Structure 1
Amino acid sequence: MDGTADDRVYYVISDLHIGGDEQLEEVEFLDELLDFLARLETTDEDAELVINGDAFGLWEFTGVSGLEKFDVLEATYPSLFEQLERTGENIPITLVPGNHDHELAAYDEYVERFAAYNVDLVQSKSITRPVGDHAIHFEHGNQQDPNNRIEDWGDTNVTPLGYYYNTLVTSRAGQLSDRGRYNWLKDVQAVTPTERVPVWMLSKYFYREMNPLLRYALVPFLLLFNVSAILAILAALNLLGVWSAPVETTETFLGQFGTVGAAVWFLLVVNASLAGVLLLVGIPLYLLRRDIKKTINRFGVFETDLTVDTETPYRDAAQEVFEENEEAVVFCYGHTHRPSVKRVEGGLIVNSGTWLKRLHRRDGIIGLLPPVFYPSYQLCAVRITAEDGQVVVDYEEAQKPSPSPEELTLTERLLTLGRTPDTELPERAVVETEQSVPAPEPAE
């Protein structure tokens, strides 16, 4: 087991994804990261910083290869490397590779290059650290994800499915992002799971790229679609002579308002007609799509799902670690970008989240309007230490203003009123150890 300090405090961050082609160079949280590192530069704690994978977006560099990527990182982020060097003079900094920066495990020269900045690059899949009388298991987490698992660790020729997605999609988005009305395409790396990318792009097109006049002309029709669908059904019942009261009542009511009522009635009729056509076409298409999907599933044509299961593989991996190493009581990983603490038999499963922007899908409350992807930050460091015979896990937040005022249009803000995401970090979690359990009272 690495290390010897029983009272050491471990700070864990992961999934910074620093670097990449063109617009991916921008690090929106750089100031907050530098402040966090500067605080550790002056701490009096017996501490160690563990950067638990995907510190750098090496997959997203397509114009350079090998150690040239490190040269680009040095030139682009000199303040970051200078701060790492200063912080590393005060506390140990350990860097564990993830999938996006797996190349760090493939070239021994990287170890020397990082050592010059007081960063200890460990080229293994995982590391273990002591905490009190127990231990913490650290790994990035991509090895539990079949789409990003590195089958031959340290081999630069290994290219899992996630590699192609990031080199072909994410890096290309970085190259094209500044061509839009708003520089949003680069945020594709924050969209999880990846199946949401087409819906996210439709959403950003509608709210950001569509000609404003066209969008504002479409909004009333789209908002009225649900009402119009009901009216279309009622109109059909009226034509069939089944139930005419709703149509007659509505027509009589609107007739009281003269020209205005006639205009509203005309608008409702147009929308109801369009809704009726869409319903007539959409219902059989929906049933056909559903039947085709069932048939495909029976034959198992598509058994690979791009979506990362954010719980089961990591729970299984943690329990395996706890069974193989009785000292281990914390399984700490990243990769899925979701800060969380789960309690399982044997200890805690801790996810260190991401410093990237997070995008929370909020479906439209009415009509056919595209969903809104609400942006937020959950910048955090996990703090793990031993206290009074217990292993304690805390989340420390690095405050950063919400990007929503600048990144959401007025329409998106109106549609998400009262529906903003909960960005609270997990509460303190404690692993009760044998030493922390009171001894039973002696029998009289």
Structure 2
Amino acid sequence: MADDVDRVYYVISDLHIGGDEQLEEVDFLDELLRFLRELESTDEKAELLINGDAFGLWEFTTADGIAKFDILEASYPELFDQLRSTGQNIQITLLPGNHDHELAAYDAYVDRLAEYNVDLVQDQSLERRVGDRVIHFEHGHQQDPNNRIEDWGNPHATPLGYYYNTLITSRAGKLSDRGRYNWLKDVQAVTPTERMPVWLISKYFYREMNPVLRYSLVPFLLLFNISAILALVAGLDLVGIWSLPVDRTAAFLAQFGRAGDVAWFLLSINVIVTGLLLLVGIPLYFIRRDVRQTINRFGVFETALTVDAEAPYETAAREIFDDNPDTAIFCYGHTHRPSLQGVDGGLLVNTGTWLKRLHRRDGIIGILPPVFYPSYQLATVRIAAEPEGVAVEFESIRKPSPATEELTLTERLFTVGREPDADLPDRRLVPDQSTADPAATSPPTPSADRTD
């Protein structure tokens, strides 16, 4: 790695290019081509490292093995031509992830990608030296029990995530264009995956439901919390405990004549329906809680499907840093959340994703389905040696927000003032080992959209 000391590294990951039918669409293709053209003309001694999930090979269900590469070539000729051109100027290295694990399973992929000046490394991780420090690169699925591949390079390796993507994600790509709006193809942007049922309910309500039915339900759902309180008050009135609120409300609405009668009627219906739902929902809640407690006692589900997006990687980084004190940067992807934070004097870097991101925004009042606000956080991570040490920074690649086109008027109304923050983490520096201060890189930098 001696020749790498003064090299500048540009790192991207999680492009997920390719897949069945509607998944073939790449929203960021123009931005990616522009980025590659910039590297084609750079004077820097640079290397582009694509840190896993460049391709969505799991999402192809109509082809096997190297035949998937034939489809990629035919679908994205401009991209591969640009890779060839950029690769004549700088080194391009590709590390497989879980979605494109087959790159490590078939040696033919090495030769095919080499035709486009892309060096495919069929390992789970690699290292590069920069300045007097070392960067550890891995995609990150190794730290995810749902996507960990124990028998690396085995074409028949099928972790839980494989079935999710071949049975659900690829199916979504085939069905997406049947909706009122082509939204189902965004299934890859739903992270963590257990949010899928809520996302489907949200998109059905705001996109697929008959507009007349939706707009008639909105007032009821908005007023559900208030109606629940009124239902309890009405119950107290029926049993003769407290009738004052009902009497006062009836007297107030009576002042408005027919309009007041209509308002009283609608309010009564709302309260009756809400009361019935509460009568059914309360016992169901206790039954559900008891069933869950019983399941937990028997240990049926010992491992949660939700994977912590940070803790396993912090642990892995500490182990890498301990094993090799020269290593000061642990760079990964997989979770789609760009972040940069200090860990034990080094840096833990997540390169994010080029896919659309969906930020959950729950309703403030009522029981309306949450809104999944779309945005892009396209970026490359630049790592370079400087006189003071090694600098790590995110370079943003601008792409307009798709919210105006993709959100309904109702969704935009409910998210006014709650748009996601698209800011990327600030630049950080790992000092030279001779002058390193452990406190210089240890305080964590808040991850972008950590709660999304």
TM-score, normalised by the number of residues in structure 1 = 0.96
SS class of match (2:434): helix
Partner of 2:194: 195
Alignment of 1:307 with 2:294, yes or no, is: no
Following superposition, which runs of at least 4 residues in structure 1 exceed 3 angstroms of deviation?
434-438
For 1:237 and 1:192, the matched residues in 2 are separated by: 44
1:215 Cα shift?
1.0
Partner of 1:391: 390
1:308 Cα shift?
2.1
Partner of 1:253: 252
Superposed CA offset, 1:420-439 (max 9, x none):
1112111111212333459x
Superposed CA offset, 1:124-175 (max 9, x none):
1101001100110000001111111111111101111100110000001001
TM-score, normalised by the number of residues in structure 2 = 0.95
Q: 1:229 touches 1:276 (CA, 8 Å); kept in 2? A: yes
Q: 1:308 touches 1:336 (CA, 8 Å); kept in 2? A: no
SS class of match (1:171): helix
1:241 Cα shift?
2.8
Alignment of 1:13 with 2:26, yes or no, is: no
1:3 Cα shift?
5.2
Name the CA shift for 1:437/1:199 in 2 (closer, same or farther; >3 Å). Answer: closer
Task: Work out the number of aligned pairs and report it.
Answer: 437
1:25 Cα shift?
0.3
Superposed CA offset, 1:276-329 (max 9, x none):
111111111111111211221222111232222211211111111111111100
Q: 1:18 touches 1:56 (CA, 8 Å); kept in 2? A: yes
Q: 1:389 touches 1:435 (CA, 8 Å); kept in 2? A: no
Superposed CA offset, 1:236-275 (max 9, x none):
1222333222212211111111111111111111111111
Structure 2: runs of 5+ lacking an equivalent: 438-452
SS class of match (2:260): helix
Alignment of 1:76 with 2:84, yes or no, is: no
Superposed CA offset, 1:101-134 (max 9, x none):
0111111111111111111100111010011001
Counterpart of 1:32, as a letter, is: E
For 1:328 and 1:161, the matched residues in 2 are separated by: 32
- RMSD of the TM alignment (CA)? 1.2
For 2:198 and 2:289, the matched residues in 1 are separated by: 19
SS class of match (2:111): helix
Structure 1: runs of 5+ lacking an equivalent: 439-444
Partner of 1:107: 106
Partner of 1:441: none
Name the CA shift for 1:154/1:437 in 2 (closer, same or farther; >3 Å). Answer: closer
Counterpart of 1:260, as a letter, is: A
Partner of 2:323: 324
Q: 1:3 touches 1:129 (CA, 8 Å); kept in 2? A: no
Partner of 2:441: none
Alignment of 1:33 with 2:52, yes or no, is: no
Partner of 1:365: 364
Q: 2:126 touches 2:137 (CA, 8 Å); kept in 1? A: yes
Counterpart of 2:368, as a letter, is: L
Partner of 2:219: 220
Superposed CA offset, 1:327-359 (max 9, x none):
100000000000001211141110000000011
Superposed CA offset, 1:164-194 (max 9, x none):
1100000010011101110011111110111
SS class of match (1:51): strand
Q: 2:132 touches 2:433 (CA, 8 Å); kept in 1? A: no
Name the CA shift for 1:332/1:437 in 2 (closer, same or farther; >3 Å). Answer: closer
For 2:242 and 2:435, the matched residues in 1 are separated by: 72
Q: State the identity as a percent.
A: 70
Partner of 1:298: 297
1:365 Cα shift?
1.6
Counterpart of 1:241, as a letter, is: G
